[in-house]
Structure 1
Amino acid sequence: METVLNPSRPCSLLIIIVNYRTARLTIDCLRSLEHEVRSQPGTQVVVVDNASGDQSVDAIQAAITQHHWQDWVTLLPSSRNGGYAYGNNLAIRPTLRADNPPSYYLLLNPDTQVRPGALKALVDFMEQHPTVGIAGSSFENQEGQLWANAFRFPSVWSELDGGLRLGLVSKLLSKWVVTQPMTEQAQAVDWLPGASMMIRRQVFETIGLMDEGYFLYYEETDFCLQAKRAGWPCWYVPQSRVMHIAGQSTGVRSEDRAPKRLPQYVFDSRRRYFVKNHGWLYAALADLAWSIGYSLWSMRRVIQRKPNTDPPYLFLDSLRNSVFLKFGSY
């Protein structure tokens, strides 16, 4: 584990890509990084394969060799799939013990491709704003259209809004709606998705690594909350552009396929986030608010004959995983 960094090259920026059965996308991501890495001195990349169990390791290693990326890319196979936080920590942990650890860490999804100048924009912003702990890119889809990527922390009010889905209520609760409208200017936000998130080394030194109690989802939300509580704010930097195809590793969120039943870890992560950060009573209120809102939405949907676009068994699974039925488990 101590050989994560290439000792022959100084490293000021370490990019971590966690792959799980998305070798082709990971290779495309590395290809998009090649020019950016070479134009941003001191940048190295670690690809963590989260025990894919397919041919990912062989395919990625073959691409590294074929394209002569060995001087800036290291492949780190994991013996088990411990989740997103676990995979990132696997690469980050040993570098923090190095004699000259990186100044910045960029968490980057395998289903992304960085646009020209994306790395420089984030590094420059962090250099110019030494009190900022976390900075994230703006995202675009494959057609180049921007989509919202900055958020407010979840709350009882956002859970009510998410379940109810009523325009008037959303306007009244606009200060608590999770998705936060972005402008073309850099701005402070509560949290950013880990698909392209740059973290100052001192943040890890202050609050520790990401919580591996989350398998997938909410781990970056939790991390940004811990950072904010420790005095390290999070900023959205639109000058850094990244193309992102959501849901390729999990299939939980995808625009080109019908929704499928949400996996258990989504509900476990949500419950962990609320209980860990706000306590059992608040988590119960959040569950209650979402359940009431969703029940009202379901009745309105039937009356208005609206299509059901939710994952199958959403209400049943949410109830089964609420703190009312899983008290003491998080």
Structure 2
Amino acid sequence: MKQVTDKDVAIIILNWNAYDDTFECLKSLEHLTYPYFHVFLVDNDSQDDSFKKLQQNYKEGKFNLDITFIQIGANLGFAGGNNVAIKEAYEQGYQYFWMLNNDTVVDPNALTPLVEALEADRQIGIVGSKIYYYGTNRVWFAGGEVNKWTGKTRHIGYKQMDTGQYNNSKEVDYITGCSLFFSRRLLEDIGYMTEDYFLYYEETEWNIRAKQKGWSIVYVPESVVYHKVSAASGGENNISPHAYYYFIRNCFVMICRTQKSLLKRLFAVLYLLANVMKKQMKVILGREKEKKVKIMYIYRGAIDALRNKMGKID
């Protein structure tokens, strides 16, 4: 085991049935200008041999990186899978952690500004990148906003062509887990991400908890990442039935868990009902597949939200 210094960054990447995406992501990390990092590649029990192939690639010297491979043996979801690797890196003494989606490609200078932002201000706990759609200069994420009444989130700059309008660093409500950089001190203060969301809103809740404890959350545009917008959830134009379920359920539960105001919780119930109708009409009127199945999962998500039934859907 290498001697970990205060400069070292643990890069956390979660793989699940995505050999090509993860391979390309790892190759892009070879060109990072910041030299002090180690990759922790954790697998959520992939069924397509992608993890074994990546391990074999590493043995064959196809990656000019130091990688620790972690096979969980079960699908623990986004937070569960990432937490396994974060805990391993924490126990090894890492001061900085970078959660990075496996369907991303990073700019060579993507890591340096993230480290510099946390070193410049100890009150900053979480920072994140400017994220483009893969192969374009169209913005996918330039910081996030959260409505504390409805739980609805918004990516600043979403789908806009970048003309420099988002080149200023600023404090935001949340950083997406697609590229989320944080400190050991934050982890020791607020703990790990809540795992029973399984998919979606776990990192949003984590950001809110950080803000409530007095940490600053900052968007750092000098760090650039390109995102393929993973097909694991069906992609943006044809969301999977399970994704609808988690969006509906977890949005509501997040508000109930993070907001003490009774009025906000009651409003969240009204929004949950409105959200069900909105999502249902989107499915009915859109060009989506599996319409009946998706509508069933939308209603099931609402019912489980009200029952506070969490975890992975059966």
What TM-score, normalized to structure 2?
0.83
Provide closer, same or farther for how the CA distance between residues 249 and 25 of structure 1 changes in structure 2, counting only shifts above 3 A: same
Contact between 2:98 and 2:182, CA under 8 Å: does it hold in 1?
A: yes
Asked if the contact 2:150/2:267 (under 8 Å) is kept, the reply is: no
In the alignment, structure 1 residue 154 sits paired with structure 2 residue 154: no
Amino acid in structure 2 at the alignment position of 1:43: F
Aligned to 1:64: 58
Identity of aligned residues (%): 27
Find the partner of 2:241 among 261, 279, 296: 261
The match for 1:20 is: 16
Partners of 1:58 and 1:324 in 2: CA distance: 36
User: Aligned residue for 2:174?
Assistant: 191
In the other structure, the counterpart of 1:77 is 71
- The residue number in structure 2 matching 1:122 is 114
1:315–1:277 CA distance, 2 compared to 1 (3 A): farther
The structural deviation recorded for 1:250 is 2.7
Q: Which amino acid aligns with 1:137?
A: S
Q: 1:242 aligns with which of 225, 232, 235?
A: 225
User: Within 2, Cα distance between the matches of 1:33 and 1:152?
Assistant: 28
Provide Cα deviations, 1:232-254, integer angstroms capped at 9, x if missing partner. 11111111000101123332x33
**Structure 2 unaligned spans of 5+:** 158-164
Corresponding residue number in structure 2 for 1:53 = 47
Counterpart AA for 1:201: R
Give, in whole Å, the separation in 2 of the partners of 1:26 and 1:226: 30
Classify 1:294/1:265 alpha carbon distance in 2 versus 1 (closer, same or farther; 3 Å).
closer
1:179 is the counterpart of 2:155 = yes
Return the alpha-carbon distance in structure 1 between the equivalents of residues 115 and 154 of structure 2: 27
The answer as to 2:198 corresponding to 1:218 is no
Match for 1:204: what amino acid?
A: L
Alpha carbons of structure 1 residues 317 and 116: separation in structure 2 relative to 1, 3 Å? same
Q: Indicate the larger mover: 10-19 or 233-242.
A: 10-19
Match of 2:307 in 1: 327
- Who is 1:162 aligned against? none
Task: Say if 1:189 and 1:325 are closer, same or farther in 2 by CA, change over 3 A.
Answer: closer
Tell me how far 1:217 sits from its aligned partner.
0.3
263, 283, 286: which one pairs with 2:268? 286
Q: 1:174 maps to which residue?
A: none
Higher mean C-alpha displacement, 58-67 vs 107-116: 58-67
TM superposition shift of 1:137:
0.5
**Distance 1:28-1:266 versus aligned 2 partners, 3 A rule:** same
SS at match of 1:321: helix
Q: Which residue of 2 aligns with 1:40?
A: 34
Moved more, 6-15 or 142-151: 6-15
Aligned to 1:7: 2
Q: 2:125 aligns with which of 127, 133, 155?
A: 133
Alignment of 1:144 onto 2:124 = no
Displacement after TM superposition at 1:122 (Å): 1.0
Corresponding residue number in structure 1 for 2:253: 272
Q: Give the Cα separation in 1 of the matches to 2:308 and 2:199.
A: 20
Aligned to 2:105: 113
Kindly state the Cα deviation for residue 297 of structure 1 after the two structures are TM-superposed.
9.8
- Inter-partner Cα distance in structure 1 for 2:8 and 2:95: 5
Distance in structure 2 (CA, Å) of the matches to 1:79 and 1:324: 27
Determine the C-alpha separation between the residues in 2 that align with 1:9 and 1:155: 39
Q: For structure 1, which segment, 320-329 or 47-56, has the greater mean C-alpha deviation from structure 2 after superposition? A: 320-329
Q: Unpaired runs of 5+ in structure 1? A: 1-5, 160-176
How far the C-alpha of 1:92 sits from its partner, in A, is 1.3
Cα 1:294–1:20 shift into 2, 3 Å: closer
Q: TM-score, normalised by structure 1?
A: 0.79
Report how far residue 156 of structure 1 moved. Answer: 3.0
Task: Give 1:14's aligned amino acid.
Answer: A
